[in-house]
Every structure is written in structure tokens, then in C-alpha cells.
Amino acid sequence: MTGAGEFDLIARYFAPLAARDANSFGLTDDAAIIPPEAGHELVVTADMAVAGRHFFTDDPPDAIAQKLLRVNLSDLAAKGARPHGYILTIALPRPVSEAWVAAFAQGLADDQARFDIGLLGGDTVSTDGPICLSLTAMGWVPAGRMLRRNGAQAGDLVFVSGTLGDAALGLKLRQGKVAPDLSEAEAGHLRARYLLPRPRTAFGPRLIAHATAAIDISDGLAADLGHICRQSQCGAEIALNALPLSDAARAMRHKATADWSDIIAGGDDYELAFTVPPEAEGKVISIAKEVGVTISQIGIITEVKSLRFLDGDGAELPLSSTGFQHF
């Protein structure tokens, strides 16, 4: 971009994103306000993404923006929080491509409408290195009700939303690491799941009254369920047969171009893993139906403090396949 500095970029592309919330002052001030919401607490979460590490430099800019926002929305969903607003800081190499910034901002605009969240403020700077993005998202939960990782109890049922492993397999396709015999639709599904998570923003807040623990799966089911087990001082037994797979992932499993470690240790799923006492099972299933999210019961919380993945014969998957360090 020729001659357009930080102020021009902000005014042209980012200020419109702040128009949803008058308390952003249209980014004309150095700060935004968050007025309190009666009976609620603010939940805050943040993620950083660096080009070449967390996304491909040539990914579509709108998808880069949306993934960063959605990764944070997924964290809010796992906490049972309703999105409020976000702060975005961006380091861009010079010269800045105005087309890139325009597409990046358009991606945010689309997702702001989709997820009912608005830009509150941020910072735009130069870098001699790769693009570096940081997003802090804020949402509301009823006071004292945030879903945590530490409430799971022996006997609770373990559920996950959606399907697992798609994003990790999509990344492998993107990297050219596998050339599986998939239909265009199947390959497209996996690639899209890597590029753009679907945060469970409608579902998460409805779990508050029923789930004992929740997490969003960003590092793979094994690692993230491991967090729940460690912090809840319990373990879990997971049935590999029960793991929900997309048709594309199932096809790759079938042709042995995907193994269990892709499914449970690949990461980037941004599905919810959560635990539910048996008596709340029916309620949770009906909420999922109501909000249009598929959920699957994949196992049970145990008193024994180990996380085990069992095949149909009851044989345990070797730990090396789980990408998970025992605790």
C-alpha cells in the first residue's frame, strides 16, 4: 500500500468493524469500555498466530482472520461464555498489501455478524518478520458459573461435539504429506475444517447447567481430555469405536492413510469435549438437538488416574499414538 500509514488503515478497514459497539468509540480513542452486565462475569481469553507457524502465508486473508477469531470464540464456548467483544493487535510486514488488509477485515466483518461480536480496539504495527496476530476475546457468563476443567467426577460420561481429526488430516493434505484416494468433496471437507473451525458458541453456554467440566479441543482429544483428567484428579476410558469421524476421515482410516494419532493427537478440531453426570445425559442430548450440534458419547470418567483409549477388543492404544504424556 502506498503511503497509507497506521491511521489510514485503522480508519478505512478497522473502524467500521468497531461500529457495532459504541463503547469502542470508533477506535478514535486509545481504549474501549466494557460496561458491566448485571449478574455476570467477564471471561477473557487470548491467542496469538504467526504466519508460517499457525497459518500459511498464502491462506486467504479472510480465513486467517476468521480462524483467529474463531479459535478464541471456541475458548469462550468451552467456558459457557456468550461473546461480547475482542481486541486485535496486528504486526504487518511493509509494504502492506491493502488488498490483504481489506480481505482480512471483510473476514472479520462476516464473522462479527455470524457470532454477534464486535471489535473493541487494538493496535497495528510494522514488523520485519512474518505477520503476527494477537486476539483477546471477552464474553459473559452468569456469575460463578464458568465451565471449568476441574469438575469431572468418576462415572461422568465423556462427550465430544462434531467429528474429530478432520482438521489434522486437512493440514496433512495441505502440506502434501498424503495423497489419499479421496473424492473432491471429501478432500475439500478436510481442508475446510483445517482452514476454518466452527466454534460451538450456541452450544457451550447451554452446557453451564449440566456439564461438570469442558474444554475445547485445540491440541488433540488426548491432550485436552488429559487437561480435564489432570485438573479433575481423575482418569478416563475412551472407546476408539465411539469417536465420531467424518466420511472423509473414515475413508482415510479405511485406506490406512490416517491412523488414530491423526484423530486424537492432531489437534485444531475446535470441538468441545465435556463431561456430564449420567442423570443429565438426556437433557444434554436434547439441547444439542435444539441447537443443531451433533454430539457423541465416547467414554466415561474413571477414578483411576489414567487416560486410556481402548479398541473394540478392549486393547489399549499405545501411549505413543496419543501424543499425550502421562500424568
**Residues of this chain that bind a second copy (CB under 8 A):** 25, 28-37, 40-50, 52-54, 75-76, 78-79, 81, 87, 89-91, 120-130, 132, 134, 136, 138, 141, 143, 146, 148-149, 215-216, 231
Nearer to a second copy, 45 or 275 (CB): 45
Say which residues have a Cβ less than 8 Å from residue 32's Cβ, sequence separation at least 6: 18, 21, 23, 24, 25, 85, 87, 120, 121
What is the nearest approach in angstroms of a second copy to the Cβ of residue 22? 13
Residue type at 184 in one-letter notation: E
CA distance linking residue 292 with residue 285, whole number of Å: 10
Nearer to a second copy, 2 or 286 (CB): 2
Nearer to a second copy, 232 or 246 (CB): 232
> How far is residue 100 from each of residues 6, 57, 106, 183, 261, measured CA to CA in Å?
15, 11, 10, 31, 35
Count the residues in the chain: 327
What is the nearest approach in angstroms of a second copy to the Cβ of residue 246? 25
Cis? peptide before 95, omega within 30° of 0: yes
What is the nearest approach in angstroms of a second copy to the Cβ of residue 58? 15
Nearer to a second copy, 87 or 252 (CB): 87
Helix (H) or strand (E) holding 159: strand 157-161
Nearer to a second copy, 123 or 311 (CB): 123
What is the nearest approach in angstroms of a second copy to the Cβ of residue 49? 7
Buried b (16+ CB within 10 A) or exposed e, 214-243: bbbbbbbbbbbbbbbbebbebbbbbbbeeb
What is the nearest approach in angstroms of a second copy to the Cβ of residue 230? 9
